[in-house]
Structure 1
Amino acid sequence: MDKEYYTKRQSPVDEIVKRLIVGTTEKPEKFLFTGHRGSGKSTELNILSDEVKKYNKYFVVKFSVSETLSIYDITYIDLLLTIGSEIYKQAFKNDIKISKELCKDLSEWMIKRTKIEITEENVSAGLEAGLNYLLGKLGTKMRVEATTREEIRKELKPRLGDLVEKINTMIYSIEDNSKLMESDKKIIVIIDDLDKLDLKRAEELFYESSNSLTLPNCSIIYTIPLSIVHSNEYTQIKQNFTDAFILPNIRVWKSNGEKDEEERKTLTTILEKRMDLKLISNEAINIAIENSGGNLYHFVYMIRSACINAIMRNRNKIEIEDINSTINNMRNDFDRILRKEHYLILDEIHRTKVAVDGKILLELFHNLSVLEYLNAKRWCDVHPLIVPLLKERMEKQKNSKDTAR
């Protein structure tokens, strides 16, 4: 990643790196990594990957499920297959070879179980290249062909033990390669974008199949939706993993209602690294900061959209009006998805700064209506874009009750 644009912020990355490097156990680490959508997790995982590489202790395999699988249809079988495939492809790319016998065994097993063939041309390129081609073709089919996904799942589900055995045998073989052996490197897999799964799919994957996800004998970092952390099943899910880490939103306000000037400076610095601040008024910056709630995606989107608004108005500088137009559009987006039962929960959270239990809360975390922050302890609040909608709704409800009397 381009570190020229990176701004240091409150993040668990340093702790994760220390845990990986110090290694308190001989067993591979299995970590969960979460945060709100748009909070900057991908950037932090890129930093984590770079930091881990510096210590020369891990062979890093990082991939995004958005690029390798269908984000709307993922099961533990798909994920395990992809973990194995990505490990091999990364090793092949770095000229780290496994034995010809194992390569032949893996190819034959994959062809038998997935019904994907290797052409004569691929065979003539060598066993290693042939397997690399096979895994690449498998990945493409798994991503775009629903029928193929179902057929492979049906074939491999009763053979989970065989699949894991093949993956682990390959892991041992790669780690035994002289290129990794000389520095005693172990494999670590970092999986991004699993937090983008819908809530139902995420619960199925991490609650019903978390045992299976920990079976590969290498360290793995899984991203998960923040809403899962607030579910009743989370305690059971976490028991299957070494630990879990949360990337907090950047605080715009403290829990007592005071402005968090230090954290606001972080957002200004992030903006300054991406544009000349002479092109936007200070008032517009402050409005964007306050209405973003510290969510990086929303903050950057506000500025980008306001820039387009300014151009459409033939301005050479972003002004308050340009930001407000974007804010109104984003607020309308929230207004379309929020229901009566949502507002009752939102009102309680806005008053108490505490997240209540229940399925509705999980929806509100998932659609970013509720944001979580950390001081000494965690606290929650309603997204600033929703506050005017909430006040309007509560006022109408109050007037309705007064009229009824």
Structure 2
Amino acid sequence: MIGVRESCFMVFPPNSDAAILKDLFNSFKPDSPLEPGDPRYVDFQEVRGDEDILTELGGYILKEEDNTYQLYSGHRGSGKSTELKRLAAYLERQGCVVVYFAAATEDAGDLSFQDTQYQDILLSCTRQLLEKLQDDVDYSPIWHWLEARWETLKELALTDVSLNQINIQVAIPLLSKITAAVRTEPNKRDEIRKLVEANTESLVKALNAFIDNAKQQLKSGNNRIVIIADNLDRIAQIEEPDKMTNLEEIFINRSELMRSLNCHMVYTAPISLLYSRSASNLQDIYGKPQILPMVMVQNRDGEAVDEGIQQLRLAMERRVMEQVDGLSLVPDVFEAEAVVVLLCLSCGGHLRDLMHIIRNAINRTSELPIRMKQVKRAIADFRPAYLDAVLEHEWDLLFQVHQNKTRLNDLDGLYRALLGRRCILEYRFFDEVEEDVVRWYDVHPLIRGSKPFRERWAVFSKGDSEG
């Protein structure tokens, strides 16, 4: 008789195709950033504009005598979290104390994607700092700040602990409860923001006193403390007529607060913000932001870029080797190199899309190797979501991008919106003749390869040539 536990999971014979496919399916998880030192990591620097996060962001942190406040951006799913974790490990090896945290994920974290304000980010930094440094640093400045507002916190039902019981074991769970309420309870969220808004100056003062204590007490001998706040690029943009967007309010209007902590800060920011009317203001405030582009698998003329394809192939191969020793990418997993090339070209160099498509192909396969038919069907499954993201009035914009390989800074932000939805992808390469980094854009291959795009493109091209 099959027990309850056994009935919940399908058990496959070891080394069977079904067992291997299950292992491969889990090796290509699209939403799991790679940890530093993971053997599956591939350095795409050469096919991403020849920029490296360790130099672009890390170099400033290590060389600058004053605190730095920097922005990091790119399309969602491009690999930013993996790169930021790599940066954190590198800085720690240089003796820095690094507080890395994902401020929000799909099901956890401190922030609400749909409603985030600067007070929420400050509270999140407070909790993460205290949690990271609790065993080494005098936390009394933060303790006293909470202590002075204890009755208000009790009124909000955020604590039932008496004032004389407060200590580090109480403070950290309390801050976790506060940030959880900010994320999940809209009514309490507003009240907590009012509390922080009225006491922002004192909270910043308490945090900086705590940070200064840390710099004096930490045993590393390095007084560089770095906070890396990941996933802030997931904050949804809210627009109101004749007003700044919520993103501009956070990163520009409240930039004094975002730059108020006495340590180095790295914030992720939405790519749509970095290409908005606020771009020059952001650069004045935070310095030149680094943007992680797509892996270049085709050039501007539509010709395949072998180096980019080979790097993506290596990423697939390493995930296979890590999961199933002795299994080759071709012909054991995929039947032919043409299948691998199709996967690389169809994702447009977007890593998360590549992982999704591969998992879908694996799910459609009952025995190895995976055939071209399964991959084509998997690609077709992901195409409708991108087509649905294109509004009727946006088709001509896509055609102009595809034709010219450029993106305009339009007043209405239509191109930025398409960029934010990944209907338009950004690529970069270093032109050695011009000695400059070239940025160019194209429509996502899942849209370009669709019948609606081909039919509309034929009409657009004909009208353009006749005009």
Normalization by structure 2: what TM-score?
Answer: 0.78
Asked whether the equivalents of residues 284 and 319 of structure 1 are also in contact (C-alpha less than 8 Å), the reply is yes
Alignment partners' CA distance in 2, 1:401 and 1:220: 48
Aligned to 2:386: 334
Matched, 1:163 2:224: no
Instruction: Give the counterpart of 1:274 among 316, 319, 335.
Output: 319
Alignment partners' CA distance in 1, 2:462 and 2:126: 60
Structure 1 residue 365 displacement after superposition: 0.6
Instruction: Give the counterpart of 2:285 among 240, 254, 263.
Output: 240
Aligned to 2:120: 78
Alignment partners' CA distance in 2, 1:203 and 1:266: 36
Alignment partners' CA distance in 2, 1:52 and 1:179: 16
Matched, 1:390 2:435: no
Matched, 1:5 2:60: no
- In structure 1, the residue corresponding to 2:266 is in which secondary structure? strand
Alignment partners' CA distance in 2, 1:110 and 1:373: 50
Against the structure 1 CA distance between its residues 202 and 280, is the aligned structure 2 distance closer, same or farther, given a 3 Å change threshold? farther
Aligned to 1:307: 362
Alignment partners' CA distance in 2, 1:188 and 1:90: 12
Alignment partners' CA distance in 1, 2:203 and 2:227: 17
Aligned to 2:299: 254
Q: Give the counterpart letter for 1:5 in structure 2.
A: R
- In structure 2, the residue corresponding to 1:68 is in which secondary structure? coil
Q: Which digits, 9 at most, give the CA deviation of each residue in 1:118-160, with x for residues without a partner?
A: 526x965x72222222212222222221111110112222332
Asked whether the equivalents of residues 32 and 241 of structure 1 are also in contact (C-alpha less than 8 Å), the reply is yes
Alignment partners' CA distance in 2, 1:398 and 1:7: 39
Against the structure 1 CA distance between its residues 178 and 228, is the aligned structure 2 distance closer, same or farther, given a 3 Å change threshold? closer
| Segment of structure 1 superposing worse, 370-379 or 137-146 | 137-146
Structure 1 residue 203 displacement after superposition: 3.8
Alignment partners' CA distance in 2, 1:284 and 1:331: 17
Matched, 1:220 2:235: no
Matched, 1:320 2:372: yes
Structure 1 residue 401 displacement after superposition: 11
Against the structure 1 CA distance between its residues 240 and 344, is the aligned structure 2 distance closer, same or farther, given a 3 Å change threshold? same
Which of the two has greater helix per residue? 1
Instruction: Give the counterpart of 1:184 among 222, 226, 231.
Output: 222
Q: Which digits, 9 at most, give the CA deviation of each residue in 1:185-239, with x for residues without a partner?
A: 3211001111112233434422433332111121110001112121111211221
Root-mean-square deviation over aligned CA pairs: 2.2
Alignment partners' CA distance in 1, 2:172 and 2:464: 68
- In structure 2, the residue corresponding to 1:273 is in which secondary structure? helix
Q: Give the counterpart letter for 2:349 in structure 1.
A: G
Matched, 1:283 2:338: yes
Structure 1 residue 99 displacement after superposition: 5.5
Alignment partners' CA distance in 2, 1:196 and 1:136: 21
- In structure 2, the residue corresponding to 1:371 is in which secondary structure? strand
Normalization by structure 1: what TM-score?
Answer: 0.90
**Count of equivalent residues:** 389
- In structure 2, the residue corresponding to 1:250 is in which secondary structure? coil
Asked whether the equivalents of residues 12 and 246 of structure 1 are also in contact (C-alpha less than 8 Å), the reply is no
Against the structure 1 CA distance between its residues 123 and 262, is the aligned structure 2 distance closer, same or farther, given a 3 Å change threshold? farther
Asked whether the equivalents of residues 118 and 134 of structure 1 are also in contact (C-alpha less than 8 Å), the reply is no
Asked whether the equivalents of residues 190 and 221 of structure 1 are also in contact (C-alpha less than 8 Å), the reply is yes
Alignment partners' CA distance in 1, 2:387 and 2:139: 58
Q: Give the counterpart letter for 2:117 in structure 1.
A: T
Asked whether the equivalents of residues 103 and 231 of structure 2 are also in contact (C-alpha less than 8 Å), the reply is yes
Residue ranges of structure 1 left out of the alignment (5+ in a row): none
Q: Which digits, 9 at most, give the CA deviation of each residue in 1:6-46, with x for residues without a partner?
A: 111214312122222222xx321101001111110010011
Structure 1 residue 260 displacement after superposition: 1.2
Structure 1 residue 89 displacement after superposition: 1.0
Alignment partners' CA distance in 2, 1:401 and 1:345: 13
Against the structure 1 CA distance between its residues 321 and 160, is the aligned structure 2 distance closer, same or farther, given a 3 Å change threshold? same
Residue ranges of structure 2 left out of the alignment (5+ in a row): 1-34, 46-50, 239-245, 321-326, 431-437
Asked whether the equivalents of residues 72 and 289 of structure 2 are also in contact (C-alpha less than 8 Å), the reply is yes
Identity %: 25
Q: How does 1:121-136 map to 2 (within 5 A)?
A: 127-136=167-176
Instruction: Give the counterpart of 1:44 among 63, 83, 104.
Output: 83
Aligned to 2:11: none
Q: Which digits, 9 at most, give the CA deviation of each residue in 1:40-59, with x for residues without a partner?
A: 00100111011111011x21
Against the structure 1 CA distance between its residues 109 and 218, is the aligned structure 2 distance closer, same or farther, given a 3 Å change threshold? farther
Q: Give the counterpart letter for 1:302 in structure 2.
A: I
Asked whether the equivalents of residues 103 and 127 of structure 1 are also in contact (C-alpha less than 8 Å), the reply is no
Structure 1 residue 371 displacement after superposition: 0.5
Against the structure 1 CA distance between its residues 255 and 123, is the aligned structure 2 distance closer, same or farther, given a 3 Å change threshold? farther
Alignment partners' CA distance in 1, 2:53 and 2:147: 40
Alignment partners' CA distance in 2, 1:178 and 1:395: 65
Asked whether the equivalents of residues 77 and 157 of structure 1 are also in contact (C-alpha less than 8 Å), the reply is yes
Structure 1 residue 356 displacement after superposition: 1.1
Asked whether the equivalents of residues 103 and 111 of structure 2 are also in contact (C-alpha less than 8 Å), the reply is yes
Alignment partners' CA distance in 1, 2:88 and 2:375: 35
Alignment partners' CA distance in 2, 1:231 and 1:104: 40
Q: Give the counterpart letter for 1:334 in structure 2.
A: Y
Aligned to 1:22: 63
Asked whether the equivalents of residues 30 and 243 of structure 1 are also in contact (C-alpha less than 8 Å), the reply is no
Aligned to 2:70: 31
Alignment partners' CA distance in 2, 1:335 and 1:302: 16
Alignment partners' CA distance in 2, 1:74 and 1:112: 25
Matched, 1:348 2:400: yes
Alignment partners' CA distance in 2, 1:248 and 1:113: 46
Alignment partners' CA distance in 2, 1:342 and 1:213: 35
Alignment partners' CA distance in 2, 1:99 and 1:287: 55
Aligned to 1:369: 423
Asked whether the equivalents of residues 373 and 379 of structure 1 are also in contact (C-alpha less than 8 Å), the reply is yes
Matched, 1:148 2:173: no
| Segment of structure 1 superposing worse, 41-50 or 267-276 | 267-276
Alignment partners' CA distance in 1, 2:280 and 2:152: 35
Alignment partners' CA distance in 1, 2:378 and 2:164: 55
